[in-house]
């Protein structure tokens, strides 16, 4: 266990972008949000929040007919304006949390991509592979620790960090709006909604990790294989295949396959947009309803799908080849 | 004596080029063996084979283990310094110590810290911030703290100044070497290590050209500077090498009694560097022969 831990720590020592880049990204999001609620919102909508009252001076300058039109519009606005229900507040939180987690994890995926193509190549580039190989560490230990960092530690760490970011933002919102008329308009902070969104994010993350495992395996293999220009080795083959297919066969099967292999797992989760009532704006129903975010996900589709397990098997084969390459390759 | 390394018919090709051509040698426990050869002779390939870093043909046992299939077990007992360039440049000194402590069951952290405290190396510095000499000291500190049976050094002092080179080998002898431990070292700076070696392996064109214990070299090899008029008599005893220095001829003999040669001129034991030059020069292409041909 301690050996596994030191291998993981070593990856973060070497590839500091793994934690520095997401940390900066999360910090920026938090700062921008904080700046917006403290500095921008008061200037635009006033310190009292949303006030649906006509401006007396403006009204006095209007003609009778115009004044009546304005009063009618304001009356309609007041009629449509309603206090959100607790359920709507939960839903609002769940969705905003899921969205903010997505923003953090999508950024992290870019960081992980560059980590994967570099991690086995860098040790050959600086010849430090001879140092690592002078220690009693197996090639499988090394490669699998890198895979664990890319597919477990960083993605799930990013989701947890996004969760913490959401808590910080919730505190900022409370500090800014608590005690102001705006507070009643805002959804109350809900631990349940936060917790549910975290669970959903982690479950979706697990689906994504299983689904994208062969992509990670391919990138590790490229990193282990390339003598130089590892980025080209990683990117050029699929791009070239797409281009060749388009040029000679005028079809996009490869592109579709790659798209399916990258994002197809979302379909398998059976997310049902209609069940979430997203986009319905009937009178007071201007927020989507979900009573339980978890109930919108059907993980069975993911775990019973043969494509998922075929992908995991391909990933295992690619990682095995990467381990063998590292073991027997002699270009140090 | 227990054999730490046993090589029989060790063979390796890079493409069509043979690098090791059926090499046989043994390294016994508690010895310091110099594996010496010109560039491209196969030294580094032999070491890579011993460490399981490259595939090869033939039989090779290191500490009774096959480096091809039992590399992980082997590396618990074997330490290795390739040259000063291999410590990861992004690593800090503290991280290097912590990592080795975390993965090596035979690493004594206290010992490494003690060694480092005697140097100017600061724990927070990164390897890229250290001088070449300091990087070697750090690597040595890590190695000295490992209770290994075999230490393999491939050009360990490459690019270092004389002071660091001397201190490297002094530390190795004083803090590491004992009868339980064996050192296999390759270097071009033969003259600096010949006093610490117990055994000598010359390798040339992928073959072992000389496999001898240092304390037998004096009995086996003799250098003779013949007195005026004795050169032809000396040549009749078949020196395997001769060269001209300042108008005088120096000849090297293998297996001719020193007492027999002493009658012909001035004799002494050749240095390892003399032997190296003599044995690595192609037959018939000695400086003396070349000079004669030119005349």
Secondary structure string (H, E, C) spanning B27-54: EECCCEEEEECCCCCCHHHHHHHHCCCC
Report yes or no: A296 and A197 within 8 Å, Cβ to Cβ: no
Domain-by-domain residue ranges, chain B?
3-89+146-205, 216-294
For the segment A39-51, what is each residue's pLDDT rounded down to a tens digit?
776 554 555 555 6
Contact A330 B103 (CB under 8 A): no
**Residue A83 pLDDT exceeds 80:** no
Q: Which residues neighbour B232 within 8 Å (Cβ) at sequence distance 6 or greater?
A: none
pLDDT of residue A10: 95
Nearest residue in chain A measured CA to CA from B100 = A135
* Contact yes or no for B103 and A128 at CB 8 A: no
- Same domain assignment for residues A58 and A152: no
Tell whether A60 and A150 lie within a shared domain. no
Instruction: Note whether A76 and A110 are same-domain residues.
Output: no
Structural domain boundaries, residue A279: 2-50+86-328
**Candidate from A126, A130, A332 with C-beta closest to B89:** A126
Q: What is the mean pLDDT of residues A58-75?
A: 81
Q: Do B105 and A136 touch (CB under 8 A)?
A: yes
Q: Give residue-wise pLDDT tens across range A111-124.
A: 999 999 999 999 98
- Helix (H) / strand (E) element for A141: namely helix A139-148
Chain A contact present for B86, CB below 8 A: yes
Looking at the structure of chain A, the number of domains it has is 2
pLDDT of residue B288: 47
Question: Confidence band (pLDDT; 50, 70, 90) for A282?
Answer: very low
pLDDT score at A287:
43
Q: Which residue does chain B place closest to A1, by CA atoms?
A: B102
Do A282 and A139 sit in the same domain of this protein? yes
Domain shared by A43 and A72, yes or no: no
pLDDT band per the 50, 70, 90 thresholds, residue A105: confident
Assess whether A43 and A187 both reside in one domain: yes
Residue A42 has a pLDDT of: 59
3 state DSSP class of A229: coil
From the list B51, B86, B103, the residue facing A127 with the nearest CB is B86
Q: Looking at CA atoms only, how far is residue A155 from chain B in angstroms? A: 24
Which of A293 and A261 is assigned the larger pLDDT? A261
* Alpha carbon of B121: minimum distance to chain A alpha carbons (Å): 19
Percent of chain A whose predicted confidence (pLDDT) is above 90:
28
Does one domain contain both A98 and A240? yes
Residues of chain B with pLDDT under 50: 288-295
- Of A176-190, A279-293, B91-105, the least confident: A279-293
- Residues A309 and A322 reside in one and the same domain: yes
The verdict on A244 and A254 lying in the same domain is yes
Question: In this complex, do B53 and A126 lie within 8 Å of one another by their Cβ atoms?
Answer: no
Asked whether residue A143 falls in the same domain as residue A73, the answer is no
- pTM of this structure: 0.81
- Assigned superfamily of B3-89+146-205: P-loop containing nucleotide triphosphate hydrolases (3.40.50.300)
Minimal C-alpha gap between B233 and chain A (Å): 51
Q: What single DSSP character describes residue A84?
A: P
% helix / strand / coil in chain B, to the nearest 5? Answer: 35, 30, 35
In this prediction, residue A257 carries a pLDDT of: 83
Inter-residue contact B263 to B234 (CB < 8 Å): no
Q: Is residue A188's pLDDT more than 90?
A: no
Determine the residue of chain B that is closest to A15 in CA distance.
Answer: B90
A317 in the same domain as A195: yes
């Amino acid at each position: 266990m301690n050996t596994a831990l030191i291998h993981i720590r070593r990856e973060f020592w070497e590839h500091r972008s793994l934690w520095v880049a997401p940390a900066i990204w999360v910090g920026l999001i938090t700062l921008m949000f904080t700046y917006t609620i403290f500095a921008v919102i008061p200037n635009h909508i006033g310190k009292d929040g949303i006030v649906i009252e006509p401006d007396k001076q403006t009204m006095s300058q209007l003609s009778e007919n115009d004044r009546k039109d304005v009063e009618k519009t304001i009356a309609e606005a007041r009629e449509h304006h309603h206090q959100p229900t607790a359920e709507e507040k939960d839903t609002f939180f769940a969705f905003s949390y899921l969205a903010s987690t997505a923003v953090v994890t999508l950024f992290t995926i870019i960081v992980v991509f560059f980590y994967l193509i570099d991690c086995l190549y860098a040790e050959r580039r600086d010849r430090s592979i001879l140092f690592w190989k002078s220690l009693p560490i197996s090639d499988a230990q090394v490669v699998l620790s890198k895979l664990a960092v890319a597919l477990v530690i960083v993605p799930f760490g990013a989701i947890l960090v996004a969760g913490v970011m959401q808590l910080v933002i919730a505190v900022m919102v409370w500090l800014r709006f608590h005690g102001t008329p705006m507070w009643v308009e805002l959804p109350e902070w809900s631990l349940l909604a936060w917790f549910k969104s975290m669970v959903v994010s982690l479950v979706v993350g697990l689906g994504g990790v299983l689904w994208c495992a062969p992509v990670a395996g391919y990138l590790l293999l490229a990193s282990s294989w390339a003598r130089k220009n590892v980025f080209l080795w990683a990117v050029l083959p699929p791009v070239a295949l797409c281009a060749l297919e388009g040029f000679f066969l005028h079809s996009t099967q490869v592109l579709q396959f790659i798209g399916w292999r990258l994002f197809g797992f979302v379909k398998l989760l059976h997310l049902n947009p209609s069940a979430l009532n997203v986009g319905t704006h009937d009178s007071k129903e201007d927020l989507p309803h979900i009573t339980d975010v978890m109930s919108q996900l059907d993980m069975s589709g993911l775990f019973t799908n043969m494509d998922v397990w075929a992908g995991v098997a391909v990933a295992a084969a690619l990682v095995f080849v990467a381990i063998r390459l590292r073991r027997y390759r002699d270009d140090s | 004596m227990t054999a730490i390394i046993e090589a029989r018919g060790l063979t390796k090709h890079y493409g069509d080029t043979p690098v090791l051509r059926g090499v046989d040698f043994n390294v016994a426990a508690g010895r310091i063996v110099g594996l010496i050869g010109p560039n491209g002779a196969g030294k580094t390939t032999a070491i890579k084979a011993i460490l399981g870093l490259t595939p090869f043909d033939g039989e090779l046992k290191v500490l009774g283990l096959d480096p091809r299939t039992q590399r992980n077990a082997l590396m618990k007992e074997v330490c290795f310094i390739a040259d000063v360039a291999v410590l990861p440049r992004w690593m800090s000194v503290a991280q290097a110590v912590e990592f080795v402590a975390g993965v090596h069951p035979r690493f004594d952290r206290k010992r490494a810290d003690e060694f480092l405290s005697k140097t100017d190396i600061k724990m927070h510095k990164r390897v890229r911030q250290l001088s070449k000499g300091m990087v070697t000291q750090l690597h040595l500190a890590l190695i000295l703290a490992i209770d290994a049976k075999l230490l393999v050094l491939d050009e360990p002092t490459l690019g270092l100044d004389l002071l660091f080179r001397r201190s490297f080998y002094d530390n190795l002898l004083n803090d590491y070497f004992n009868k339980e431990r064996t050192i296999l070292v390759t270097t071009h700076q033969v003259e600096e290590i010949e006093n610490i070696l117990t055994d000598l392996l010359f390798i040339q064109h992928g073959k072992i050209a000389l496999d001898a214990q240092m304390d037998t070299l004096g009995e086996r090899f003799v250098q003779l500077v013949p007195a005026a008029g004795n050169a032809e008599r000396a040549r009749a005893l078949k020196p395997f090498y001769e060269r001209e220095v300042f108008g005088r001829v120096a000849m090297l003999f293998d297996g001719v009694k020193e007492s027999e040669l002493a009658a012909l001129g001035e004799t002494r034991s050749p240095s390892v560097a003399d032997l190296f030059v003599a044995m690595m020069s192609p037959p018939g292409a000695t400086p003396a022969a070349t000079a004669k041909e030119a005349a």
